[in-house]
Chains A and B, each alone.
Chain A
Amino acid sequence: MKFTLKVWRQPARDKPGRFETHEVSDVSPDTSFLEMLDILNNRLEGESKSPIVFDSDCREGICGACSIVINGRAHGDGEGTTTCQLYMRNFKDGETLVLEPFRARAFPVLKDLVVDRSAFDRIIQAGGYVSVNTGAPQDANALPVPKVNADLAMDAAQCIGCGACVAACKNASAMLFVGAKVSHLALLPQGAVERERRVLSMIEQMEAEGFGNCTNEYECEAQCPKQISVSNIARLNREFYRAKARE
């Protein structure tokens, strides 16, 4: 198979960027999308040209490192997949592919397709945990949790923190990401003690980082590689109002 790639190249954070066009040919349909970029990079290195910089690590869809907007969609066209789980057989032979970084004010580009997502870490630092020290807590089975709540918590906890929700949203809103963590902990008795404090400080940090607000487009859910439901945003709003009312 062959493809034309239009790739965003930007040498550093404060330097201007531009699209650069590359042709790749003789690509096996069994090649993954990132392996196709590996092949291109190896060719560029062999020609003493600078390879395209992109984030990737586990290559099995769980670490959340990979982060490319392909033809206008975060992680491309696959349903419930990350960029690293795309295979070239799912693209059309001869197709032109436009590769961009996850764009958002809160995710500055560091180089080419790599962005700085440390804003997500700072949101978690603001309260995305249960404040227990390592030690000897009570027995794990001391506090039963209804299975339905445990399952809903797990649905939300699956978030891989990749930032696709932000890249997909016209407002660059991080509310699916924040909603997933708030939901995960609000649904469990272990998270109950800090329930109000958590949601208020995480939202405060989210706003300080420059993420936008949700206007119910649901693009985040559509492009989320873990298919996290927008109902978590609804729960985030409820938790926020509940906490505000109790303030």
Chain B
Amino acid sequence: MILDSKIPDGPLEEKWDRHRFNLKLVNPANKRKHRVIVVGTGLAGASAAASLGELGYDVLSFCFQDSARRAHSIAAQGGINAAKNYRNDGDSVFRLFYDTVKGGDYRSREANVHRLAAVSVNIIDQCVAQGVPFAREYGGLLDNRSFGGAQVSRTFYARGQTGQQLLLGAYGALMRQVHAKKVKLYTRHEMLDLVVIDGKARGIITRDLVTGALERWIADAVCLATGGYGNVFFLSTNAKNCNVTAAYRAYRRGAYFANPCFTQIHPTCIPVSGDHQSKLTLMSESLRNDGRVWVPKNKGDQRSPRDVPESERDYYLERRYPSFGNLVPRDVASRNAKAQCDEGKGVGPGGYGVYLDFSDAIERDSLATIQAKYGNLFDMYEEITGENAYHVPMRIYPAVHYTMGGLWVDYNLMGTIPGLFVLGEANFSDHGANRLGASALMQGLADGYFILPYTIGGYIASQSGLGGQTTQHEAFAEAESAVRERAEKLLSVNGKRTVDSFHRQLGKLMWEYCGMSRTRGGLEHLLKEIPGLRAEFWENVTVQGSPGEFNQCLERAGRVADFLEFAELMATDALSREESCGGHFREEHQTEDGEAKRDDENFCHVSAWAFKGVGVTPELHKEPLTFENVKLTQRSYK
């Protein structure tokens, strides 16, 4: 089946305007008769729920956290891109569009990306009007910085807490609608299944995490803004509770999952210090502006870094990439660090780390200069590792932090199940095979504030409402009993191994064989291992407590059970994509210099997978990608 992305006709710059005009409208007086479910209260979910409430829809908003203000968007540090061109440095909507398509290694949709770039300017206006305290200059105007290797300064920021401030802005808008009784908010409610009636998304089943009660919710449309799946690796920079369950359950109900193998690995994270570790912490990649990356030339060198003489150090990035040096893009820096460690040259506990050394920068620019630039990062590093990086080099290692893949959506952000909309990191649409810095916040808010509120109206106006359907429909009963039986099954295994131990083991397998670089052999091995681990999970997991209580053990078990199925989908996608692009690096497909080698002839498409059963190879559907405004080129950083 060839997927129809429903991209409107006309020149690139006019597509969104034309489309908005062509979308049917819902009569203002009728909007309150239409109910919309929004799952997740991160940037995409909160902004969507608030905007739909303002429009007059009857909105139900759900999150599993104790408050709508806690979703993991809050942890984004760097900033948000917008093509405002306030710096007069040559930025434009087209340049932001171009950079994003190129940065995504030509695996995203031109029309979606252009729309994203175009609405980026509205996002900044909206957030400022909400009182988001962006950084300002002495003249009172907004400050910008250049970020993630962009050649223009288009990133708006609020200290190192941009995600927090943007989320609190969207949360405030949402709270206002809750107060106005336009949105009903259900916190500590986790979506555990999607309900599909006559082929349309009609509702969800949730579990009240405090009482354990299962509840049925019906609506004209269901929006998932449930984030990414980076925690399939167990260790990632995601929050502990981030999970794939909502998206995966939708996939099991018929929604296609696109490009699941596209994951982004961030090069500058604090390395794993031992088996106790529960998550990884990101350090701003701006550190690579002044730090020099090196490992000892000799394998297994146990000396303290200060005792390793200059002649026995390998500054491998500077050696391999003389022109970009330590500033090569994220994926290149990450892969090279892994290669050094795999050769046995890694440093620190377990040998999974490389040095990021500031001694030359301190000598050149003075200690005070380095302190002024990076003081907070050095403090954070010391808090976590107990080491003072002004005296000994930092140790860094790459970590998973974003997933570009997600549920397949068309230009309206609607999935393959009519009435199911997917927003933010949970969809796949805008970042291709690699996301640029400061673009995740932009996409989440673009989807929620400025795209979904239009496109969902077009869908609802073309439908005839619920037609008398209620939560008594058999599809609700079937979904609810499936959820109940699954929880009971998890609680009745009564095995010996904890949920976490399975999650850790799965994470290690995924990191080893489906992480920074992948091979056919490794992926085939992984596809043999996962079913075995999944079988053991269902035979030997221990889940304490009962279903009718506050039970975090059961929550985790359900999420890990889904990761154990989802992992197979990721590996299948990685195996079938016989090329390297962006965050997906297949060792078989590299240039002579060891760089990612795309195959535009055979793989210039979106891979969207349809569920066919647990343990059954999913069915591949392709959406061809065409580039009419950007010329496909090979990246080089030598």
Which residues in A have some Cβ–Cβ distance to B below 8 Å?
11-12, 27-32, 34-36, 38-39, 42, 44-46, 48-51, 53, 55-60, 62-65, 81, 85, 87, 89, 110-111, 114, 116-118, 120-121, 124-126, 128-141, 143-147, 150, 153-154, 157-158, 160-161, 184-185, 188, 190-191
Using Cβ atoms and an 8 Å threshold, which residues of chain A touch B450?
134
Q: Is the CB of A188 within 8 A of B125?
A: no
Given known contacts A31-B274, A154-B133, A190-B128, A129 and B552 CB-to-CB distance under 8 angstroms: no
Docked CA distance A36–B274 (Å): 12
Q: Contact between B500 and A42 (Cβ–Cβ < 8 Å)? A: yes
A-side contacts of B54, CB under 8 Å: 133-134
A8 CB → nearest B CB, Å: 14
Give the interface residue-count category, chain B.
35 or more
Q: Is the CB of B173 within 8 A of A60?
A: no
CB contacts under 8 Å to A, within B120-147, are: 122, 124-131, 133-142
A244 → chain B, closest Cβ, in Å?
22
- Once A57-B70, A62-B164, A85-B383 are accepted as A-B contacts, the answer to whether A45 and B544 lie under 8 Å apart by CB is yes
Q: Which of B140, B171, B501 has the most CB of A within 10 A?
A: B140
B279: CB under 8 A from chain A?
yes
Counting CB contacts under 8 A, is B384 at the interface? yes
Q: Which of B60-68, B308-316, B338-346, B363-371 is found at the contact surface with chain A?
A: B60-68
Give every chain B residue within 8 A of A60 (Cβ-Cβ). Answer: 75, 279, 281
Q: Cβ of B176 and Cβ of A129 under 8 Å apart?
A: yes
- With A and B bound together, what is the CA distance between A46 and B501 in angstroms? 10
Tell me the nearest residue of chain A to B159, going by C-beta.
A154
Q: A51-B553, A146-B140 are in contact. Are A118 and B161 (CB under 8 A)?
A: no
Please give the distance in Å from B124's CB to the nearest CB on chain A: 5
Tell me, in angstroms, the Cα distance from A31 to B276 when the chains sit together: 6
Would B278 and A30 count as touching, CB distance under 8 A?
no
B contact residues around A120 at 8 Å (CB): 67
Residue of A nearest to B282 (CB): A60
B638 interface residue per 8 A CB criterion: no
Cβ of B446 to closest chain A Cβ, rounded Å:
12
Option from B133, B175, B545 in Cβ contact (under 8 Å) with A184: B133
Q: Contacts A42-B500, A114-B550, A137-B125 given: A57-B241 contact, CB under 8 Å?
A: yes
Pick the residue among B124, B187, B543 that contacts A118 (CB under 8 A): B187
Complex CA gap A154/B175 in Å reads 20
Residue from A42, A56, A124, A134 having most chain B Cβ neighbours under 10 A? A134
User: Across the interface, which residues of B come within 8 angstroms of A35, CB to CB?
Assistant: 276-278
CB–CB A140/B279 < 8 A:
no
Chain B residues closer than 8 Å to A124, beta-carbon distance: 171-172, 175
Q: Which residue of A lies closest to B543 (CB)?
A: A45
What are the residues of chain B within 8 A of A129 when measuring CB–CB?
A: 130-131, 172-173, 175-176
> Which A residues touch B392, using CB under 8 A?
none
Chain A residues lying within 8 Å of B549, measured Cβ to Cβ, are 11-12, 111
| Closest A residue by C-beta to B178 | A125
Chain A: minimal CB distance from B115 (Å): 16
Give min CB distance, A57 to chain B, whole Å: 4
Question: For residue A136, which residue of chain B has the nearest CB?
Answer: B122
Minimal Cβ-Cβ distance residue in A for B384 = A87
> In the complex the two chains form, what is the Cα distance from A150 to B136 in whole Å?
7
Contacts of B473 in A (CB 8 A): none
Are B386's CB and A132's CB within 8 A? no
Instruction: Indicate which residue in B131, B136, B159 contacts A191 across the interface (CB closer than 8 Å).
Output: B131
Q: How far is the CB of B77 from chain A (nearest CB, A)?
A: 9
The listed residue with most A CB atoms (<10 A of its CB), out of B130, B134, B281, B553, is B130
- Bound-state CA distance A141–B144 (Å) is 12
Are B125 and A56 neighbours in the complex by a CB distance under 8 Å?
Answer: no
Q: How far is the CA of A12 from the CA of B549 in the complex (A)?
A: 8
> Given the complex of chains A and B, what is the CA–CA distance between A130 and B50 in angstroms?
13
Select from chain B the residue with minimum beta-carbon distance to A120.
B67
Cβ–Cβ contact B552 & A126, under 8 A: no
Write out, one digit per residue, whether chain B residues 247-288 have a CB within 8 A of any chain A CB (1) or not (0).
000000000000000000000000001101111010000000
With the chains together, A160 CA to B66 CA distance in Å?
13
Are B453 and A134 in contact, CB atoms less than 8 angstroms apart? yes
